Chains A and B, each alone.
Chain A
Amino acid sequence: MRWILQVVVLTLLLAAGTWFAGWWFVPLASAAYGAWAANQRAAVLTAMFAGALAWTALLAYDASVGPMGRLTDVLTGALRFPGSTVVMLTVAYAALLGATAAAFARGARRLLSPAKASA
């Protein structure tokens, strides 16, 4: 339950941060989360899920107000691979940013102050 709560809160934070600050907010906030949750085994997984969910939610919003189908068609033509792949790449990239930043910060925290991190 606590893990789900963390995923939800972090998702909301990443979505809002992306909206107001930009893509770089995802690794920044995920790193902060990773450092904060250094003692949690699932911290990396949490950041990964939250990143993916945050950007999925934003994509869903875009689709609800505009011609996302037409946009993916345009991308399909322009990039010469399926637009749906770009959707998946977008979600995967957010997950990657979240997971790697959290993993790095969690590892660094544990390395620098093992006692606190494992407390």
Chain B
Amino acid sequence: MSDRPAISAIVARASQVATVLLSGAAVAAALFIGAMPIGRAPALGAFLEPAHGIWAMARTAELPRRASMRIAGLKDSVAVTYDGRGVPHVFAQNEADLMRAFGFVVARDRLFQMELQTRAVAGTLSELLGSTALQLDREARAQGLAWGAERKWKAIPDTADNFRLVTAYADGVNAYLAQLTPDDLPFEYRLLGARPQAWKPQYTYYLLARMSLTLAWNDEELRRANIEALVGAKAADALFPINAPIQEPIQPVDGRQAPRFDTSPLPPPAPRDSAHMAIAAAYQRAAESETLDALRGRGEVAVGSNNWAVSPRHTASGYALLSGDPHLQLTLPSIWYEVHLQVPGVLDTYGVTIPGGPIVPIGFNRSMAWTATNTGADVLDYYDEKVDDARHPTKYLLDGAWKPLELRIEAVRGRGGRGGRVLRTDTIYHTHRGPMVHVGDRWLSRRWTALDISDEGRLLRLANQAHSVDEWMTVMGQYGVPAQNFLTADTLGHIAIRSTGHYPLRAGNGRGNHIIDGTTSANDWRGYWPVERYPQATDPAQGYLASNNQQPKDPQVDPSYMGSNWPSPFRAMRINKLLRADTAVTPDAMRRFQTDPTSEQTDLFVQPMFDAVAKAAAAGRPDTAAVRGAALLREWDGRFTPDNERAVLYDAMMDELIQRTWDELRGAPDVRRGPTPSTTVLAQLMRDANSPWWDDRFTPQRETRDSILVASIGAAYRRVTQRYGPPGPRWRWSGIRTATINHLARIPGLGRSKIPMPSGRGTLSPSDGDGSHGASWRFVVELSGEVHAWGTYPGGQSGNPVSERYDDRLASWTAGMLDSLQFPRRAAEISAPRATLTLFPER
């Protein structure tokens, strides 16, 4: 009996201990998930906490009406006024202060974007995103962009203006980072559980290198080797030609009012060439991967920048007009950041910048405007190198002697940066030409203008201050990479265009579209073209200038090799037609042209298809679906307008036609991916009704152009009705050609989807509908005494997805409208300012 209290006390004690242990374990678990990230989920404590965690973003989504702060290095105060569209107008007293403030302001809106883009070049995305980015990092390091950018930065003397100004810009970014509170931390960092890294001045050059990758990467040699293996050298040359079969060049040809068509027949396909199959197989494998967009079987990637300028005598107002419409990958936040920069007597420039780059590559000042389309010239060559060891080379053969390879060791780390685990270590081998890549059983070195020492940042900065077309062109004569079709217009009424960039002087026939023997230095580049040889024109008799990525010069004028497989010139044909027809162009007409829904390619295919269907019907071989499809397409006005219910059928017909025609370039009948010649080459083939290319080698019978056309429209009709039902509202183009603009880091929910795209095959604003590419910035400038401008881009100024400035321009962009741009001389002239920021020097 006496033991009972003791036992009961022991039980009570044990129960207490158990309670403490259980509650201890519970609190430890709660603290653990609060403090430690689990998998890809951030640490919950800091993330959920409503004072400074994710919820604080509601309080910091918009800019405070008034803010001021002191930042180190400023000599004078800088006034920043944000207009109603969220564009900062930065008024400084000297250039260094301007750059410091500019860096601060851009970081305030686009910090995560700046870091992500820099890391993409540096190959350090894995440190932020984890091992999912490992392959991207390895590719970036193999390309050597960061290596090249570091060389460029080191080559700039620290006494140079550009060094000083780029450093001031970096100081501005870091000044913003220094005062960044947990409340202001961008959304993406919170989600990733990361902190922003410090900004180095050379990161500006990383971003310029990234633009070179986007615009000047050209591995046509590898593609061509692949095609050559499949159909022979002659056919490869014809399918991916050096000269476009339809010539509507950038540099006008005197007296020519229409495009010139090459009507020569395509040489027939040759048997497969086993000697080239190794490299073809390696290339096909790469094409199957996610890294080579251009080969994903979509034919021509729907990228198409446009620009055009009109001389005063062809405009309603008597002032020169300029339109810029660069197409790039579309993301949120947008690639562009709009800004107005002013230092009295030095600079007064408005335009778009790449966050991280302290220059305005596309914009205008009080005297002139400038814009660009990509030239797409071949500025990258592959050399077949002979090495001493196929697996671990140390030397390469040059002019009969073994030369040592330079080695670059690249260690990709995982999350945690320098303290993170090494995920992979690669050795990159360099010859004197550049980094090597292992393709199949061959080692190829790359010679690429993007890795040369040059300083485009300095030139663009000086060009931003130019007072006339002449001055601008003189400054930009030294510009190297990426080659651009720079178009300018000034208030004096001059317009000019020049395909500007370093074009290699090559040995032999001067062509760079094949892999070159690397064992002799005789095959090395011998310099660059002189500027006077560049495609160019000033104040032409036709009264306008335009470029749309097409072949810049008609080879009848100058046969020099600049590249191959040029984008089809249908956009050029359309804008030239519109500009020829209008001798009193207005800014609003310029705007309408930007989203013009008509394509110049449709007539080349639709009428022959009508004829083929009619012939088949007359011969007693009617295909019901083809007859119905043709009848429906006869109702089409040829425009890709949002409410159009026939454009879908044309689109599907072209898809079928391309698939059926280029079967020789695919391995098997069910393979829909494969290299695809441009639509211009298809148009060339249309003129040869019995070419062997029309035969589908996967069928027993022999096809002709007409039978392929009938089969294509029949299949298109069946496909469209199967997917969208009978002709009706579900065929409406606005419901079919919709785009999704992804977030830069592809974070779901931060992109926008189902955006109707008023575009189609060959229209001025092309889109493949997946939103990967499109008009990244549209603007029109009237070069009157007081410059007027209008513009917009798909997105908004803020990188904060909670801000209304994140995507506030999307609606006007989708509708093809432009906002009026404020270009004040003083802050007080800004109507309805949204916010102000005053930056003071530190005491």
Contacts of A39 in B (CB 8 A): none
In the assembly, what is the distance between CA of A21 and CA of B608, in Å? Answer: 75
Cβ of A68 under 8 Å from chain B: yes
In the assembly, what is the distance between CA of A22 and CA of B53, in Å? Answer: 9
Contacts of A111 in B (CB 8 A): 13, 16-17, 20
- Total contacts A to B, CB within 8 angstroms? 131
In the assembly, what is the distance between CA of A55 and CA of B58, in Å? Answer: 15
Chain B 46-80, CB within 8 Å of chain A: the 1/0 string? 10111111111111111000000000000000000
Q: What is the chain A residue whose CB lies nearest that of B55?
A: A62
Contacts of A58 in B (CB 8 A): 50-51, 55
Q: Given A24-B34, A111-B20, decide whether A62 and B59 contact each other with a Cβ distance below 8 A.
A: yes
Q: Given A27-B27, A71-B61, A103-B19, decide whether A77 and B749 contact each other with a Cβ distance below 8 A.
A: yes
Docked-complex contact A62 and B58, CB < 8 angstroms = yes
Q: Given A23-B34, A107-B19, decide whether A66 and B49 contact each other with a Cβ distance below 8 A.
A: no
Cβ of A6 under 8 Å from chain B: no
Docked-complex contact A59 and B55, CB < 8 angstroms = yes
Docked-complex contact B20 and A97, CB < 8 angstroms = no
Contacts of A42 in B (CB 8 A): none
Which A38-89 residues have C-beta < 8 A from chain B?
55, 58-59, 61-63, 65-68, 70-71, 73-80, 86, 89
Q: Which of A63, A75, A108, A114 contacts B20 (CB 8 A)?
A: A108
Which B774-798 residues have C-beta < 8 A from chain A?
none
Cβ of A36 under 8 Å from chain B: no
Q: Given A23-B46, A70-B802, decide whether A107 and B56 contact each other with a Cβ distance below 8 A.
A: no
Contacts of B802 in A (CB 8 A): 66-67, 70-71, 74
In the assembly, what is the distance between CA of A84 and CA of B578, in Å? Answer: 52
Q: Given A66-B59, A70-B61, A104-B24, decide whether A23 and B191 contact each other with a Cβ distance below 8 A.
A: no
Docked-complex contact A22 and B52, CB < 8 angstroms = yes
In the assembly, what is the distance between CA of A73 and CA of B187, in Å? Answer: 13
Docked-complex contact A65 and B24, CB < 8 angstroms = no
Docked-complex contact B19 and A77, CB < 8 angstroms = no
Docked-complex contact A62 and B48, CB < 8 angstroms = no
Cβ of A19 under 8 Å from chain B: yes
B31 CB to closest chain A CB (Å) equals: 6
Q: Which of A23, A76, A108 contacts B48 (CB 8 A)?
A: A23
Of B24, B46, B56, most buried by chain A (CB within 10 Å of CB) is B24
Cβ of A10 under 8 Å from chain B: no
Which B169-227 residues have C-beta < 8 A from chain A?
187, 191
Q: What is the chain B residue whose CB lies nearest that of A83?
A: B749
Cβ of B7 under 8 Å from chain A: no
Docked-complex contact B34 and A71, CB < 8 angstroms = no
B332 CB to closest chain A CB (Å) equals: 11
Cβ of B148 under 8 Å from chain A: no
Q: What is the chain A residue whose CB lies nearest that of B17?
A: A111
Please tell me the size bucket of the interface on A.
Answer: 35 or more
Docked-complex contact A97 and B23, CB < 8 angstroms = no
Q: What is the chain B residue whose CB lies nearest that of A108?
A: B20
Q: Given A107-B16, A111-B16, decide whether A71 and B51 contact each other with a Cβ distance below 8 A.
A: no
Cβ of A29 under 8 Å from chain B: no
Q: Which of A19, A22, A100 contacts B30 (CB 8 A)?
A: A100
Q: Which of B13, B45, B801 contacts A23 (CB 8 A)?
A: B45
Cβ of A7 under 8 Å from chain B: no
In the assembly, what is the distance between CA of A42 and CA of B801, in Å? Answer: 43
Docked-complex contact B26 and A67, CB < 8 angstroms = no
Docked-complex contact B749 and A71, CB < 8 angstroms = no
In the assembly, what is the distance between CA of A67 and CA of B808, in Å? Answer: 15
In the assembly, what is the distance between CA of A64 and CA of B413, in Å? Answer: 42
Cβ of B804 under 8 Å from chain A: yes
Cβ of B44 under 8 Å from chain A: yes
Contacts of B828 in A (CB 8 A): none
Docked-complex contact A55 and B749, CB < 8 angstroms = no
In the assembly, what is the distance between CA of A13 and CA of B97, in Å? Answer: 45
B270 CB to closest chain A CB (Å) equals: 52
Contacts of A77 in B (CB 8 A): 748-750
Cβ of B619 under 8 Å from chain A: no
Q: Given A67-B802, A100-B26, A103-B26, decide whether A74 and B749 contact each other with a Cβ distance below 8 A.
A: yes
In the assembly, what is the distance between CA of A58 and CA of B52, in Å? Answer: 10
Docked-complex contact B749 and A104, CB < 8 angstroms = no
Docked-complex contact B749 and A62, CB < 8 angstroms = no
Docked-complex contact B58 and A68, CB < 8 angstroms = yes
SS of A interface (majority): helix
A80 CB to closest chain B CB (Å) equals: 6
Cβ of B747 under 8 Å from chain A: yes
Contacts of A103 in B (CB 8 A): 19, 23, 26-27
In the assembly, what is the distance between CA of A110 and CA of B60, in Å? Answer: 45
A21 CB to closest chain B CB (Å) equals: 9
Chain A 79-119, CB within 8 Å of chain B: the 1/0 string? 11000001001100100110011011001101100100000
Docked-complex contact B30 and A67, CB < 8 angstroms = no
Docked-complex contact A66 and B19, CB < 8 angstroms = no
Contacts of B44 in A (CB 8 A): 93
Q: Given A66-B59, A67-B802, A107-B20, decide whether A22 and B46 contact each other with a Cβ distance below 8 A.
A: yes
In the assembly, what is the distance between CA of A75 and CA of B55, in Å? Answer: 10
Contacts of B23 in A (CB 8 A): 100, 103-104, 107
Chain B 1-18, CB within 8 Å of chain A: the 1/0 string? 000000000000100110
Contacts of B747 in A (CB 8 A): 78
Docked-complex contact A71 and B57, CB < 8 angstroms = yes
A85 CB to closest chain B CB (Å) equals: 12
In the assembly, what is the distance between CA of A67 and CA of B805, in Å? Answer: 12
Docked-complex contact B750 and A96, CB < 8 angstroms = no
B28 CB to closest chain A CB (Å) equals: 9
Q: What is the chain B residue whose CB lies nearest that of A101?
A: B27
Docked-complex contact A59 and B61, CB < 8 angstroms = no
Which A1-22 residues have C-beta < 8 A from chain B?
18-19, 22
In the assembly, what is the distance between CA of A51 and CA of B61, in Å? Answer: 26
Contacts of B50 in A (CB 8 A): 18, 55, 58-59, 61-62, 90
A67 CB to closest chain B CB (Å) equals: 6
Which B18-40 residues have C-beta < 8 A from chain A?
19-20, 23-24, 26-27, 29-31, 34-35
In the assembly, what is the distance between CA of A24 and CA of B49, in Å? Answer: 9
Docked-complex contact B26 and A104, CB < 8 angstroms = yes
Which B793-836 residues have C-beta < 8 A from chain A?
801-802, 804
Q: Given A97-B30, A103-B26, decide whether A66 and B51 contact each other with a Cβ distance below 8 A.
A: no
B128 CB to closest chain A CB (Å) equals: 16
Q: What is the chain A residue whose CB lies nearest that of B46?
A: A23
Q: Which of B26, B27, B35, B801 contacts A74 (CB 8 A)?
A: B801
Q: What is the chain A residue whose CB lies nearest that of B34?
A: A23
Docked-complex contact B46 and A104, CB < 8 angstroms = no
Contacts of A18 in B (CB 8 A): 49-51
Docked-complex contact A90 and B61, CB < 8 angstroms = no
Docked-complex contact A65 and B46, CB < 8 angstroms = no
A25 CB to closest chain B CB (Å) equals: 9
Docked-complex contact A96 and B59, CB < 8 angstroms = no
Contacts of B45 in A (CB 8 A): 22-24, 93
B443 CB to closest chain A CB (Å) equals: 43
Q: What is the chain A residue whose CB lies nearest that of B187?
A: A74
Q: What is the chain B residue whose CB lies nearest that of A92?
A: B48
In the assembly, what is the distance between CA of A93 and CA of B54, in Å? Answer: 14
In the assembly, what is the distance between CA of A93 and CA of B49, in Å? Answer: 9
Docked-complex contact A22 and B49, CB < 8 angstroms = yes
Docked-complex contact B749 and A78, CB < 8 angstroms = yes
Docked-complex contact B51 and A76, CB < 8 angstroms = no
Docked-complex contact B52 and A66, CB < 8 angstroms = no
In the assembly, what is the distance between CA of A23 and CA of B55, in Å? Answer: 13
| With A90-B48, A107-B24 already in contact, 7 other A-B pairs whose C-beta atoms are closer than 8 Å | A18-B49, A22-B52, A63-B58, A74-B802, A78-B801, A100-B23, A100-B29
Interface positions of B (Cβ within 8 A of A): 13, 16-17, 19-20, 23-24, 26-27, 29-31, 34-35, 44-46, 48-62, 187, 191, 747-750, 801-802, 804
18 A-B pairs with C-beta separation under 8 A: A18-B51, A23-B34, A23-B53, A27-B34, A58-B51, A62-B50, A62-B59, A67-B802, A67-B804, A70-B61, A70-B804, A74-B187, A74-B801, A78-B750, A93-B34, A93-B44, A100-B30, A107-B24
